[in-house]
Amino acid sequence: MKLGINEATCKENSSLELDLQLCEKYHYDYIEIRLDMLKDYLKKYTIEDLQNFFKTSHVKPYAFNSIEDINFCSPAQEKTMLDLFIFACEMGQKINNPYIIVVPTVSDEMLTKTDEEIFADSVKVLKKLSDIASSYNMKLAFEPIGNPRWCVRELTQCMKIINAVNRDNVGVALDAFNLFLYNKLQNINTIDLVPLEKIFVYHINDSEDLDLSVLDHCHRLLPGDGVIPLKEISAKLHAKGYDGIASIETFRPQYWQMNPDDVFRLGAEKTKIYL
């Protein structure tokens, strides 16, 4: 697998331009660019500047993060979501960034939705986004998130949706922490449900050993520092023949207080053993 990092890992104490420099310094293969950080970058630089960086650097773009709350949108919410999605498609086409991660909706209201309602809405919106993305040669990585307030929580549910959508440009983002959020990944064999060609992104991260009632994204850790069975997950991906990105993604406030150079260095050191 190829070493990557998601900009969320240092999002409060870094910038796209610094993240690119640190990716080069510590020999990352790919970067997942946050759309908010890209917009900040474009206040000072141009998209041509970013194109020129990638032309001369080993590091390449891999995915944009993220288009969130895609389910059960009001007309106004849908317009905001689609505007950002089209921006991502346009930018992705210009810098050869092939994937956009799309995330199911989170709210207390999702606790009241039936599986049938969630399935129907997810299929509908993913087909709509797929149609738009296809004209830009972009792909969607749909990311299930295990916490009950997200409407698509686990891989069995996610793959039923992906299979019903049945589009070549719609696949899955496998996030180790988000898989762990669903019953602490007691059934690791659900990973076997995802065919190789549908694994678009692998987020590698670890977790504190806490009860699910309190476990949240702020408790993510760098790979190897927690209790997620990363060796077993990575072994399953290796067995499938997956050789795409293994991208560090954390939202840990302590890492946002550190020097980004240290986070990138430690991330590379701790992740390489799983590649």
Give the amino acid at 103. Answer: V
What pLDDT score does 268 carry? 98
Residues in the chain: 275
The pLDDT-based confidence of 128 (bands split at 50, 70, 90) is very high
Is the Cβ–Cβ distance between 133 and 93 less than 8 Å?
Answer: no
- Bridge partners of residue 33, in order along the sequence: 64
Q: pLDDT of 130-148, one tens digit each?
A: 999 999 999 999 999 999 9
The torsion angles phi and psi of 210, rounded to 5 degrees, stand at -125, 160
pLDDT score recorded for residue 266: 98
Q: What is the pLDDT of residue 60?
A: 98
User: What is the value of pTM for the model shown?
Assistant: 0.97
**Residues 113-117, mean pLDDT to the nearest whole number:** 97
> What kind and span of H or E run contains 19?
helix 16-25
Q: What pLDDT score was predicted for residue 98?
A: 97
Return the number of other C-beta atoms located less than 10 Å from residue 48's C-beta: 10
> What's the confidence (pLDDT) of residue 195?
98
Cα–Cα distances in Å, from 204 out to 86, 146, 148, 156? Answer: 27, 15, 21, 20
Q: Dihedral of the CA atoms 69, 71, 77, 79 (nearest 10)? A: 110
Instruction: Based on DSSP, count helices (H) and strands (E) in the chain, helices before strands.
Output: 10, 10
Residue 177 domain boundaries: 2-274
**Cα–Cα distance list, 101 to 104, 126, 133, 236, 251 (Å):** 10, 12, 12, 22, 16
Alpha-carbon span 263 to 259, nearest angstrom: 7
In angstroms, what is the C-alpha Rg of the chain?
A: 18
The pLDDT of 163-175, averaged and rounded, is 98
- The number of domains in the chain is 1
Q: Position of tokens 């500047």?
A: 49
Kindly state the average pLDDT of the residues 205-222. 98
pLDDT at 144: 98
Q: Provide the CATH number for the domain around residue 162.
A: 3.20.20.150
Residue 97's pLDDT is 98
Q: How far apart are CA 191 and CA 182, in angstroms?
A: 13
Average pLDDT of span 83-98: 98
